[in-house]
Structures are given as C-alpha cells and as structure tokens.
Structure 1
Amino acid sequence: MKSGSRSMGTLRALPWIGPALVLIAAIVAFPAAYMIWTSTRRLTPYGEDLGPAGLGNYRRLFGIDALGSVFVHTVVWVIAVVLITLVLSAALAQFLSKNFPGRTAVRMAILVPWAASVVMTTTVFEYMLDPDVGIANKFLVDIGVLHRGFGFTKEAGPAFVTAIGVAVFVSIPFTTYTILAGLQAIPAELNEAGRVDGAGTWQRYRYLTLPQLRPAIAVATIINIINVFNSLPILQVLTGSIAGFSADTTTTLTFKLIQQNQQLDTAASLSVLNFVLIAVIIAIYVKLIRPAGEETR
C-alpha cells in the first residue's frame, strides 16, 4: 500500500519535474553517453569515424609512460588548491562577517578575481613573474631576496606551484562568499550561549560554528573539486610551453592529445576516465560528509 501511494505521488509530480529531467538528459546524460561511445571509435585527426575500436583507445591511453605521474600531479593539484582555498576562505569569511569601517568596499574587492577572466588573471601573473621584465621578480631583486630574476614559470616544479597559487587566488571569492552566507545564517544566540557557558573563541568556533557551516563547506568543496579537476586555462597558460608531461594533469594531457598529437580517440578515452574519477571522488566526499545517522531514502 505504501509502495503504491509512493508510485502515485511520483506520477503526480512527473508533469512538474518532467521538464527538468528532459533538460538533465539533454545537457548531461546524452553528452556523457556520446563521450563514452566516441571513446570506443577510431577517429582521424579531423574527427572522421573509421569504425569501432573496442578498447584499443584505452589500451593506447594506459600505454602512455607518463600517465602515472600525470595522475599524481592531478591529485596534488586538486587537494592542494581545494584545501588551501577552504582554509583561507574560512578565515576571510570570518573576518568579513565582523562589523568594521569599509566592510562593503572590502567585500566588493574580494569579487574582483572571480569577476575577471581566468585567462587574463593568469596572464597578468605570468608577466609579473617573468624573469626579465616581471615586476614581481624586479621587486624581489631590489630588496635583495634574489640576485637575479627567477623563472617561476619556466620550469615544471615552480610553474606548477605558481599555478596552484593562481588557482587559489581565483577560487577564494566564490568559496569565501559561500562560507560567509553560511556564517550569516547561524543564529547569534548560539555563539552567545557558548560564551555564557564559558567556551573560548576556538571552542565556540570548533564545536558551535563549524558544525553549522558543514552544508556551506560541503557545497563549496564539491564545486571547487569539479572546477579545479577540470581546470585548463591556468595550467595551460603557466605550464603549457613546458616540454613533456612533467607539469600536466589529466585535463591538460587531454588537451595535448588533441592539439599536439591529434589523437581524438585517445583523448576521448581519457575524458571518460576523468568523468569516472570525478564522479567517484564526489560520491566518496558526499558519503563522508553525510551527518551521522542519516539514511538514504
């Protein structure tokens, strides 16, 4: 009886949720299915379909010697950017939640890296760090930190670290505002009650504020993981000219397979692998942040 009434409820809701389901199928399900199908085809550099390839594209993909290091780079890239962004944004959101002169102007200024083009922002950093004409290098030389300009974006290691810094810079605005919205939704009485009970500042933040921020942090983390995992412009601008795969993630490797090697079919198989990886990562994260005792309905 209960199952029948649930089915009837679903049928009654179908006219309302039907358009959303069609939209999801059109912009998510169909492209994903087409991507998987493409990964099993033999394609010319111009995209001409030469017939089925079976798992040949995947075998060719896993035959790339640098694939293991590329996966390591991807893990380091995602974890470093997301974790640093969350920590800095949480501190910044806490600061912006206080009343101080000029708070509105500071809040508006935080949006600048988010509003500007990622390619433009990254290019500005690239020129600033240029060993010959970069203003940042010149400043470091003038104050005696460096004897001469250093090629921050000319070698794989420094360029990769620089890319992480730029990615954090452009990710902070969205994350800060998401956490700030969560902070403003917390009743002031909760913090006051903790103060009355003798809890210190850190204790109130850890045991009262942080649990209330869990939904906001979860949303910010998931969106940042997706954005960072699939990020191409920052790495392409800062590390794209470096030979080999010493500073590549799976996303930039996909780009190189298409643009440099013209291996559309192998790139399609890597895209499928990327899709599976990000789905697994998000599923694990959602499972871990689910409140204790919550059951799937």
Structure 2
Amino acid sequence: MSDSGLQSRRRSKDFVAALPWIAPVVLLIGAIVVFPVGFLFWTSTRDLNRYGKDQGSAGFDNFSNLADTRGLALVLTNTVIWVVAVVGITLVLSMALAQFLNKDFPGRKLVRLAVLVPWAASVVMTTTIFYYMLGEFGLVNQLLLDLGLIDEGFTFIGEPRAAFVLAIVVGVFVSIPFTAYTILAGLQSIPGEVIEASRVDGANAWQRYRFVVLPQLRPAIAVATIVNIINVFNSLPILQVLTGGIAGYKADTTTTLTFKFIRVDGKIDTAAALSVVNFALILGVIAIYVIAVKPLRAVDR
C-alpha cells in the first residue's frame, strides 16, 4: 500500500476513535446553529399569516415582497452607516483607552473596573437614561435653556437624523468596554523585551507603536472587530428605544425593520426573508474584512 493510502487509513482510524468524544459537540452545534439557520431559510419560503400559521409554500415571493418595500434602500444605507460608524469609532477610541489602561498609574484597578460599568449595565436601561436625558424636558435641554443657548426645548429623539446620531453615540458608549479590554489583553501579551529592543534601536514612540505594537495587536483587533460587527449589526435595544417610535423607515436598520415587519405589519414571512438577507450580509461583511485585512497574517510569520 502506498504512503498516501496508509496516511488516509490512519486518518480514518483516528476519526473513528475520536468520534465518541466529538459527537456530543457536533450534535450541540447542529442543535443550536445548523438547525435554526436551516429553519430560518425554510421559513423564508413559506406563506405565514400574522399569527404564524403556515399556509403553504411561497417560493421566493417573500423576497420579492421585500424588494418592493418602500424605503428599503434608505434602510440598507442606514445599516451601513450604523455598523461602520459604531464599529469604527469604537475601535479608535478603544485603542486609545487600552493604551491608557495599560500604563501603570495610581488607581488603575479602580479605573479598569469603572470602564466595565457600561458593558455590565443593561443596554435598555443605559439607552433609556440617554433617552430621558436628551428628551424635550431632559437635563441637556434644561442646561441649554439655563445657559441661554436655546429659546425652547429641543427633542433629540423626535427627529429621525438626530435620533439616529444619538443611537450611534450610545452604541459606541456600550461597545467600548469589551473592545478596550480585548485590545488591552492583546497589549499585555506583547513581550516587554520586544518593545525595549525597538527603543534601544532608536525607534520613537510612534514608530514603536506602528511597527512593533500594532502588528502584534492584529489578532485582538480582529476579534474585537468581528464580534462588534455581529453585535452592532444585530443590535435592536438601542435603536428600538431611541428610534422605534419614529414613523416610517428614516431611522431604521434592517434589524429594526425586521422587528416592525413582525410586530407592526404582521408580516412574519417577509421578516424571515429579511433575516436571511441579514445573515448573508453579515457573513459577506466578515468575509470581506478577513480577506482584506488578513488579521492572522502577522501571527503566521
């Protein structure tokens, strides 16, 4: 028997020997990942009434109805702006914050714990605080009135664009803790000898960060970026609290539109079709990011 045949036979034996150990994991993945995704795709091809009763096959009619939805182009644009703005701003601020938290200063442990508060708190409650603080009779309006900067109260949550920008601010606020700690973990994994060697070689602070620290942070940044893309893309609480009461689709993303299809319009089948589109979009975005950035390239070398 050839060497390739022996290797193939050995791999088969190893697989059979490992099967009793990996079978529970495979079944679990199938139960919580594969089956729900498959059921979602199947649901998107069914004709469902507003109560969820299956009335037969709809083929691709749900996707056609979705494409005919007025304002869909604006919703898709909002989704891109929402994800890019929140993830991008979060990464920039978190990288600066992680650098600060990595330094040795009095009270560092307390500051690190304080940074976790927005992440540990309920997203709905955090968003609600912003909602009332920036409402027509909120603290911000009262402060502006007292300073004479405005003549009457302005509700930041009544106008679609203002509410959408506020949602981005809140999204960044609640995303920074996880991102900063992920990058901080990457910073602490960099050997001090490497940075010291670059300093001895004459590299200034920016050069050390650009050519020594940043390449080492690629895996940590990749994890933070991918997790944030998924979380932000699928984020409902922030947008629902701040923009959910605004009529029309001017402040909606694909996630909040899915919610409206179900709760307001009773179009469960169309919502399922939009969920499939969301799933495809997020996989596509992550694939483009991984191919373009190659986050693990520095580790492989």
**What's the TM-score bracket when you normalise by the shorter of the two chains?**
over 0.9
Distance 2:58 2:249 in 1: 26
Distance 1:169 1:74 in 2: 18
Match of 1:262 in 2: 266
CA distances 1:44-88 after superposition (whole Å, capped 9, x unpaired):
111111111111111111010211111110001000000000000
Q: Cα offset for 1:284? A: 1.8
Q: CA 1:234–1:26 in 2, change beyond 3 Å: closer, same or farther?
A: same
Q: CA 1:97–1:57 in 2, change beyond 3 Å: closer, same or farther?
A: same
Match of 2:256 in 1: 252
Aligned AA for 1:224? N
Match of 2:234 in 1: 230
Aligned AA for 1:209? V
Match of 1:183 in 2: 187
Q: Cα offset for 1:144? A: 4.0
Match of 1:41 in 2: 46
Structure 1 stretches lacking a partner, 5+ long: none
Q: Specify which of 112, 120, 124 is matched with residue 107 of structure 1.
A: 112
Match of 2:281 in 1: 277
Q: Cα offset for 1:221? A: 0.5
Percent sequence identity is 62
Distance 2:116 2:191 in 1: 26
Correspondences of 1:44-55 after superposition (within 5 Å): 44-55=49-60
Distance 2:12 2:150 in 1: 70
Give the 3-state SS of the residue equivalent to 1:248 in structure 2: coil
| Matching of residue 57 in structure 1 with residue 57 in structure 2 | no
Distance 2:22 2:261 in 1: 40
Q: Specify which of 190, 204, 223 is matched with residue 200 of structure 1.
A: 204
Distance 2:193 2:149 in 1: 49
Q: Cα offset for 1:280? A: 1.3
Q: Specify which of 133, 147, 162 is matched with residue 166 of structure 2.
A: 162
CA distances 1:219-261 after superposition (whole Å, capped 9, x unpaired):
0100000000000000000001111000000000000000110
Match of 2:291 in 1: 287
Q: CA 1:50–1:96 in 2, change beyond 3 Å: closer, same or farther?
A: same
TM-score by length of 2: 0.94
Distance 1:23 1:76 in 2: 35
Aligned AA for 1:216? A
Correspondences of 1:46-85 after superposition (within 5 Å): 46-85=51-90
Give the 3-state SS of the residue equivalent to 1:94 in structure 2: helix
Measured on the aligned residues, the alpha-carbon RMSD in Å equals: 1.5
Distance 1:38 1:73 in 2: 26
Give the 3-state SS of the residue equivalent to 2:56 in structure 1: strand
Match of 1:138 in 2: 142
Give the 3-state SS of the residue equivalent to 1:65 in structure 2: coil
Structure 2 stretches lacking a partner, 5+ long: none
Q: CA 1:145–1:20 in 2, change beyond 3 Å: closer, same or farther?
A: farther
Aligned AA for 1:261? D
CA distances 1:198-226 after superposition (whole Å, capped 9, x unpaired):
11111111110011011111001000000
Give the 3-state SS of the residue equivalent to 1:266 in structure 2: helix
TM-score by length of 1: 0.95
Q: Cα offset for 1:288? A: 2.5
Match of 1:87 in 2: 92
Q: Cα offset for 1:118? A: 0.5
**Range 58-67 or range 8-17, more displaced:** 8-17
Q: Cα offset for 1:294? A: 9.1
CA distances 1:72-128 after superposition (whole Å, capped 9, x unpaired):
100010000000000000000000000111111111111111111100000000000
Give the 3-state SS of the residue equivalent to 2:252 in structure 1: coil
Q: CA 1:140–1:198 in 2, change beyond 3 Å: closer, same or farther?
A: farther
Give the 3-state SS of the residue equivalent to 2:51 in structure 1: coil
